[in-house]
Amino acid sequence: MSTSKKFWLFFIIIIAIIAGAIYYSTRPKPISVFVKPVEMGDVEATVANTRAGTVNACKRAKLAPTVGGQISFLPVKEGDQVKKGQILLELWNEDMKAQIQLTKEETIAAKARLKQACIVYDVAHREADRLVKLQKKGLASVEKTDQAVGDSRAKQAACDAAKASQKEAEARIKVATAALERTILRAPFDGTVAEINGELGEVVTPSPVGIATPPAIDLIDNRCMYISAPIDEVDAAAIRTGMKARITLDAFPDKNFAGRVSRISTYVQDREKQARTVDIEIDFEDPENIKGLLAGYSADAEIILNTKKNITRVPTEAIIGDNKVYLFDDGVLMETQIKTGLSNWQFTEVISGLEAGQQVVTSVDQTGVKDGVSAEIDTSEN
């Protein structure tokens, strides 16, 4: 090879090396992306409450006397376990107790008057019967017989009046007893005294119409709990009683509770015009789960509308636009159209377009992510 040809060959090689170096130093660097695999698994269609729900006791009574008065007897304290019918609070009622005693004495007197009147009637009745028989035989005058019969009827009326007086006296005992009971607050069910608003000697008054006042006694039965939660009106139509649900509580962040929808409200709450909701109630499936729960805990509920088992699924966060994903294929991102089915916030069913084992980009909002760009997997997320 001539010297000239060698020179030009050497010159071309140098130029190629320089060009390669320039390209290598100026080429776009691969972007770093997070990826997750397409896999086989379960997918659920779910709806969740729009605002925090609440743990409620199946039985809870905010109790107060129906009449006003001074507290004279307060045998319980907060936290006490009480039985149905047990006295929780009593107002001063000595005057009513005295009234009951008076009506009882009046009833005794009424019984005595009844006995007396009816004995007198019995005597008069027998005398009238005797004279009627004698008069029929001509042995007694008509005038005397009529007088005896009239007297018997008068005595009978007196006996009947005495009977009515006795019943009236007995009714007054019931009225006085009912008035006395209005001053006594009894437990309507077995439960725990959650709150007491009042002390011995203090005066309590019933709530005026339309004005809520704190209850004298707040009684809760913690043996039965349920969740009430607001569901967006758009989602509520798909919910049915009996559907399974997952319950989470802020007080137990690492635990899920199994539940089942027990009631769906028959009307829409419109307190917030732009966020109308339907209240639902969810029972705990396992009675053991309610142990240690307190009424008033905040709760979230996820109602399971449908479930598909062992299907191809992709992380929902990887889907963009009109059911597209960025497929990571040998260091290059490929925008891929897919057909989806059942979906929730975590996973979406893939009907077609992807296969298990492929990798899709989950950091779709990252700058530079687009079809055809070079990319490398960022493992720092793991």
Q: What is the pLDDT of residues 239-248, one digit of tens each?
A: 999 999 999 9
- The stretch 297-305 carries a mean pLDDT of 92
Residue 11: inside a domain: no
Same domain, 192 and 328: no
| pLDDT (0 to 100) of residue 142 | 82
| pLDDT (0 to 100) of residue 11 | 65
Total domains present in the chain:
4
Same domain, 208 and 233: no
| pLDDT (0 to 100) of residue 105 | 92
Residue 83: inside a domain: yes
Q: What is the pLDDT of residues 120-143, one digit of tens each?
A: 989 988 988 888 888 888 887 888
Residue 15: inside a domain: no
Statement: residue 313 has pLDDT above 90: yes
| pLDDT (0 to 100) of residue 24 | 52
Binning pLDDT at 50, 70 and 90, where does residue 26 land?
low
Residue 69: inside a domain: yes
Domain with 295 in it:
48-59+223-307
| pLDDT (0 to 100) of residue 336 | 93
Same domain, 300 and 327: no
Same domain, 192 and 167: no
The mean pLDDT value of the chain amounts to 88
Boundary residue ending a domain (170, 197, 214): 214
Same domain, 209 and 255: no
Q: What is the 3-state secondary structure (H, E, C) of the chain?
A: CCHHHHHHHHHHHHHHHHHHHHHHHHCCCCEEECEEECEEEEEEEEEECCCCEEEEEEEEEEECCCCCEEEEECCCCCCCEECCCCEEEEECCHHHHHHHHHHHHHHHHHHHHHHHHHHHHHHHHHHHHHHHHHHHCCCCCHHHHHHHHHHHHHHHHHHHHHHHHHHHHHHHHHHHHHHHHCCEEECCCCEEEEEECCCCCCEECCCCCCCCCCCCEEEEEEEEEEEEEEEEHHHHCCCCCCCEEEEEECCEEEEEEEEEEEEECCCCECCCCCCCEEEEEEEECCHHHHCCCCCCCEEEEEEEEEEEEEEEEEEHHHCECCCEEEEEECCEEEEEECEEEEECCCEEEEEECCCCCCEEECCCCCCCCCCCCEEEECCCCC
Same domain, 209 and 266: no
Residue 10: inside a domain: no
Residue 18: inside a domain: no
- The stretch 162-167 carries a mean pLDDT of 91
Same domain, 54 and 112: no
Boundary residue ending a domain (272, 288, 307): 307
Statement: residue 215 has pLDDT above 80: yes
Q: What is the pLDDT of residues 314-366, one digit of tens each?
A: 999 999 988 999 999 988 999 999 999 998 888 999 999 999 999 999 998 88
Q: Model pTM?
A: 0.65
Same domain, 229 and 255: yes
Residue 382: inside a domain: no
Same domain, 173 and 189: no
Residue 157: inside a domain: yes
Same domain, 140 and 274: no
